[in-house]
A and B are shown apart, each in its own frame.
Chain A
Amino acid sequence: MTRDAPARIVVEQDGARTRIRELTASTYLRPRLLGSGAGPRVALVAACASLLAGDHLRLEVEVGAGAALELVEPSGTVAYDARGGRADWTASVRVEAGGSLVWGAAPFVVAHGADVHRHTGIDLEPGAAVLLRETFVLGRSNECGGALRSTLTAVRDRRPLQAEDLDLTDPVLRGSPAVLGTRRVLATATLLGIRPDELADPHETALDGPGALRRELADHAHLAEDALEPTWARWRRLVGQTRPARTVTCRTAA
């Protein structure tokens, strides 16, 4: 295992149940099976104090046709002071037809002095569904937070479905009344592959293709996540994975 080799989680449908075909740990992450609901529930357990300058955490997730997978994170990730260096975090997700992935990520905290680039690439076949929650926290308590750039690209049936580039590297632009203003937490729930029949909250919006998005800005991670909770629960039912949203609670970053 080289230092930057990816952690891998691969599931496939075997008759009536989803089985795990691969759980590969990396320098940074140890995927661990917690149990199963609609499909396996896998915890992403941190294997070391990540992320430090020079780190490149990589995660690959593959959900086979008709399979269901839930990813949970027992603790938040902290990107520490990079002292001039940079850390990278990359997730590649592929979900085949009829498959589903629910991933409620724990807060991603960007400490003062950190410089971190995140990229999430999601590739869906028609009939696949993904529900993702990301919470970015700029700074631990009483910090203004380092530089974060987070990009997400979702492609469905080879057609772009959602593309975003949250460039929060420049504190002036980040603090402007167009980007985050005075808030330091941004939580986003992204539903991909399914078009909800109705949107129940003014901050929920339908994507141009099948999908929906809701963001919340707040001063504390738990407030942003609590605000997202009703949307998360509803969209989770749409994805067909009805387990309570937060079986593992994490408020360390708040």
Chain B
Amino acid sequence: MPAELGALLLADGRLPTGGHAHSGGLEPALAAGAGPDDVPRYLEARLRTVGLVEATAAVLTLRRCRTAGADVDEVQVALRARMPSAPARTASELLGRGLARLARRLWPEHPAVAALDSLGAPPLRPVALGVVGAAVGMSDAQVARASLYDDAQTVAAAALKLLPVDPTDATRWLLDAGPTLEEIVARALTCTGPDTMPATTAPLVEQYSLDHASRSRRIFVA
């Protein structure tokens, strides 16, 4: 499959991976007092923190999937050590499961997809994304960009359901975050291995995920 088509598929909210049920922490952020004006800053700060960590994990997974018998688990273990929030790991597993299910059905014979079975725990979203990226032949930059775009679009799309926001404004947030997104893509590509994977921490994103998990009334999973 052409890599360009794969990149479009991964960026498309209609791809059946369950992403529509997530808000990237926006729902609990709003519950904690954030308002519409805070969304662009929130979205961009995610890119610079958890977004960078996840995009790097996706790229490292992709690179390892290009060589047969590569150890993807090492990337996943490094990523899990960078996600202290248990609900955040669970949310990422749900998204990873959606991508892994697609990959197993569409490219069952691909060695990268087989690598999913060697993991010690369910694949997190970035790891599953790296595997799918390998299966469709995407480049490092394409996978990093797909990871970051998905995160930003998750927040923007959730804002349309949670706030009285014009869809054009939500689109503008994404475009405004473009230079940051490309800067983070470039940073993600410079990482050489799990030992030096970025660990940029976003304490409020962690707190929101914990607050959200303890609530019974909510619209989004995370």
Q: Which A residues contact B (CB, under 8 angstroms)? A: 151, 153-154, 159-167, 173, 176-181, 186, 202-203, 205-209, 213, 215, 217
Chain A residues closer than 8 Å to B29, beta-carbon distance: 177-178
27 A-B pairs in the complex with CB atoms less than 8 angstroms apart: A161-B81, A162-B81, A163-B81, A163-B197, A165-B198, A167-B200, A173-B45, A176-B41, A177-B41, A177-B204, A178-B46, A179-B49, A179-B203, A179-B204, A186-B203, A202-B210, A202-B213, A205-B84, A206-B86, A207-B84, A207-B86, A208-B80, A208-B81, A208-B83, A208-B89, A215-B203, A217-B207
Closest chain A residue to B50, Cβ basis: A178
User: Once the chains are docked, how many angstroms separate the CA of A177 from the CA of B219?
Assistant: 20
- In the complex, given contacts A186-B203, A207-B86, what are 19 additional A-B residue pairs having Cβ atoms less than 8 angstroms apart? A153-B199, A160-B77, A162-B84, A173-B45, A173-B48, A176-B45, A177-B34, A178-B205, A179-B45, A179-B204, A179-B205, A180-B203, A205-B84, A206-B86, A207-B81, A207-B84, A208-B77, A208-B89, A213-B84
Chain B residues closer than 8 Å to A215, beta-carbon distance: 203, 206-207
Min C-beta distance of A112 to chain B, whole Å? 21
User: Once the chains are docked, how many angstroms separate the CA of A179 from the CA of B44?
Assistant: 11
Min C-beta distance of B122 to chain A, whole Å? 12
Instruction: Name A178's contact: one of B49, B78, B89, B211 (CB within 8 Å).
Output: B49
Closest chain A residue to B197, Cβ basis: A163
Min C-beta distance of A237 to chain B, whole Å? 21
User: Once the chains are docked, how many angstroms separate the CA of A205 from the CA of B207?
Assistant: 10
Min C-beta distance of A210 to chain B, whole Å? 12
User: Once the chains are docked, how many angstroms separate the CA of A180 from the CA of B45?
Assistant: 11
User: Once the chains are docked, how many angstroms separate the CA of A212 from the CA of B77?
Assistant: 16
